[in-house]
Structure 1
Amino acid sequence: MAAFPIRRYLTPLIHVLMWGLFGLSLLLLNPVLGRFSLPPQFWVKQAVVFGLWIAAFYLTAHISVPRLLLRGHVGWFVLAILGTAAAVLLLAELVESWLNLQQLMEQNFRPRGSGGGLRNELGGFRPRPRRFDMMSLLTTLLVLGISTSIAAVQKWQADAQRRQELEQQKVNSELSFLKAQINPHFFFNTLNNIYALTVLDTGAAQQAIHTLSRMMRYVLYETTVETTQLSKELAFVQDYVTLMKLRLTERVRVELEWPAPVREVPVAPMLLLPYVENAFKHGVSATQPSRILVAVRQPSAQVLELEVRNTLFPASAASLDEGSGIGLVNTRRRLDLLYPGRYTLTVDEATPEGEFRVHLTLQIL
């Protein structure tokens, strides 16, 4: 059974309740109603005036405000408001004259004998048309003011929602573009490594292809969603490190530090890889000893830390800001989009130990 679309009818229901309460308040605030019978023409005139107020409300909300006020024509809008109020009062006076209501009210208030009549019971009360006109004017202006306020607020809310939707679309487009740049960049380097490995060791090349196929499955199925589990992301990074170690010599020492056990938290896919890839790209030498450290820590369930260190070689030293790879530049942009105000990225281009160090802290939840 289909659910009742309550949101579809919520706004009309609110308007019906608002006008119902407004009409009820007019009845309760009248000092005469409920104590004395009034001519039917009085109720006809009140119903007409109430309908004029409703028409003026929606005329202002749907025409005057969007076409004049919101387009900067303030002067014309003020004239429209005054013209609408004058039209309501004029039509009310015409209806009252057509119904001959003034004469009927005076007859109803005329004394009946020496001690009776509505006039004597109200202490000499007599209708005051001028005062009634002033009350009608104030009420009309109040209705128009409420209409203007509601229309302006709704326009502001609609604009804010539209801006938020456009910003979200922009973020999604940028993330898709960044992923499209990171993935080919990664596979381009990896295929080059495997090609070099086939010349040296066929068995190791087969193992590398198997590892690469597992990584490709991750890229194909996990990067299509906004987040993935941390354990899958760490397994992907570990596969990459394993693949890189197949072609390294004994001069390169690779150290991995994983949290034990891993606390599952959602992370953006392929967010950690560019920093690890950068270490292998710039921290390995064919002739000199080198060290690469990849450490992932979870100080708490809401915090994820990544530390990557690699030996600094002057000929290949590069910083994240100087474009040491397409992936690194885009990863910084991804951090801005996915974790605004919830990450810290520290880059030390020359530590006392002679290493290039990257330290990333993410506030996951």
Structure 2
Amino acid sequence: MESFSNRKYMPWLVHVMVWALLGSILLLWQPLTWRITIPTQFWFKQAVLFGLLLAVFYINYRVWIPRYLFLNRTSLFVILNICAVLLVSFSIQQVEIWVNLRESMENAFKAVRNSGIMRREDSLDYFSLLTALMVIGISTSVAAVQKWQHDAELREKLERARIDSELSFLKAQINPHFFFNTLNNIYALTVIDVEASREALHKLSRMMRYVLYESQQGTVQLSQEIAFAQDYIKLMQLRLTDKVTVQLTPPEPMHDVPIAPMLFLPFIENAFKHGVSATQPSRIEIIIRQEGAKIHVEVCNTLFTDKKSTNLEESNGIGLVNTRRRLDLLYPGRYELDVKENQTEKEYKVHLELDAV
């Protein structure tokens, strides 16, 4: 809250400091260079000039720039600013005449004429004119920079909202697909082994809690994701025969890092879908390693040529179709996904290298 408050009031603090500096210059710079006794009328004229510059700055900053310059009405914007500069210069001249400043300044210069200091003709007119131009230029620059920053922040928010929406859509596709398959497995298991089906329902409820609550935070710890994968594997093993060997090797030692939830599931699910046979020996091997901030995930399974394609891009599984797209959104330029199909050794291997930090 304190940080937000500081960010909110910082621009106003900068404005106050800049105007205090400009006011000091207007009041002190010229008197110091003249080395004469300054009449009271001069301070009054400088105060009027300061007020006019203040008005021109904020009228240009708050009204003319957003209404004309940012709406491509440039000609009217330029005309208004020229009129403002001329009005400031004309007003200052009228103030000088009204308070009889020129005569007062002439008397002050006469008092020090023998000292060699010469009167500077028309310096006040040029000074007010140039100062007004400078103020208008500064206000235009500040407004343009702020608009550019605001537009950049808006584009970033829109892009982030688009990515979040797309990720939510992809997760909504992946999760029901997984649970649809799992419920079918449990339904088939109830006919064979009631106790095993109860255990499967317990594991599924724990996994649903993970998906519905833990994964909604955007990121989970690596240990949580591995525990979820272990529950999934144990659940799938309930319906497998002794001909299938499944092994998951977690990293040793494990260092928790935040990663996207359910990131490993499509690869593991794909291995069970295409790498398991009820009649032939088959194996699934999952190895998860850590090298600093990098996470390596290898999923190897037996390749059966009589089954449908297991290719990550061609699989009909909803989760696998969107795996690359999800990785592109979550880890752009921070991952490598390699898929190899070895017909000779009858092995299908997926290797994911992910920079989690």
Which residue in the other structure is 2:303 paired with?
Answer: 312
Which residue in the other structure is 2:97 paired with?
Answer: 97
- Per-residue CA shift, 1:149-175, capped at 9, x if unaligned? 111001111111111222222222222
- Per-residue CA shift, 1:319-357, capped at 9, x if unaligned? 222243111233322222221221111122446522222
1:125-144 equivalent positions in 2, closer than 5 A: 125-129=118-122, 131-144=123-136
Q: CA separation in 1, counterparts of 2:8 and 2:213?
A: 37
- Per-residue CA shift, 1:167-195, capped at 9, x if unaligned? 22222222222222221111100011111
Q: CA separation in 2, counterparts of 1:360 and 1:241?
A: 19
Letter in 2 for 1:128: E
Which residue in the other structure is 1:65 paired with?
Answer: 65
Letter in 2 for 1:102: R
Give yes or no for the alignment of 1:146 onto 2:167: no
Q: 1:60 to 1:278 in 2, by over 3 A?
A: same
| Unmatched 5+ stretches in structure 1 | 111-116
Letter in 2 for 1:308: V
**Contact 2:220-2:258 within 8 A present in 1 as well:** yes
**Contact 1:351-1:357 within 8 A present in 2 as well:** no
Q: 1:40 to 1:4 in 2, by over 3 A?
A: farther
Secondary structure at the aligned position of 2:12 is classed as helix
Secondary structure at the aligned position of 1:357 is classed as strand
Q: CA separation in 2, counterparts of 1:210 and 1:188?
A: 16
| Alpha-carbon offset, residue 59 of structure 1 | 1.4
Q: 1:298 to 1:174 in 2, by over 3 A?
A: same
Letter in 2 for 1:80: L
- Per-residue CA shift, 1:121-164, capped at 9, x if unaligned? 2x1512402x3322222221111111111110011111111112
Q: CA separation in 2, counterparts of 1:147 and 1:270?
A: 51
Which residue in the other structure is 1:218 paired with?
Answer: 210
1:1-365 equivalent positions in 2, closer than 5 A: 5-30=5-30, 32=32, 35-110=35-110, 117-121=111-115, 123=116, 125-129=118-122, 131-300=123-292, 302-314=293-305, 315-350=307-342, 352-365=344-357
| Alpha-carbon offset, residue 13 of structure 1 | 1.9
- Matched residue pairs, number? 355
Secondary structure at the aligned position of 1:44 is classed as helix
Q: 1:4 to 1:225 in 2, by over 3 A?
A: closer
Secondary structure at the aligned position of 1:321 is classed as coil
- Per-residue CA shift, 1:262-321, capped at 9, x if unaligned? 221111111111110011111122333222111111122x11111111222233123222
Question: Stretches of 4+ moved more than 4 A in 1?
Answer: 31-34
Secondary structure at the aligned position of 2:301 is classed as strand
| Alpha-carbon offset, residue 3 of structure 1 | 9.6
Secondary structure at the aligned position of 1:255 is classed as strand
**Contact 1:282-1:316 within 8 A present in 2 as well:** yes
Secondary structure at the aligned position of 1:158 is classed as helix
Q: CA separation in 2, counterparts of 1:255 and 1:39?
A: 94
| Unmatched 5+ stretches in structure 2 | none
| Alpha-carbon offset, residue 74 of structure 1 | 2.6
Q: CA separation in 2, counterparts of 1:102 and 1:90?
A: 15
Secondary structure at the aligned position of 2:217 is classed as coil
Q: CA separation in 1, counterparts of 2:300 and 2:57?
A: 68
| Alpha-carbon offset, residue 48 of structure 1 | 0.4
Q: CA separation in 2, counterparts of 1:254 and 1:148?
A: 68
**Normalising by the residue count of structure 1, what TM-score does the alignment of the two structures yield?**
0.90
Identify which range, 28-37 or 317-326, moves more after superposition. 28-37
Secondary structure at the aligned position of 2:345 is classed as coil
Letter in 1 for 2:113: R
Secondary structure at the aligned position of 2:286 is classed as strand
Letter in 1 for 2:304: F
| Alpha-carbon offset, residue 34 of structure 1 | 7.8
Letter in 1 for 2:270: N
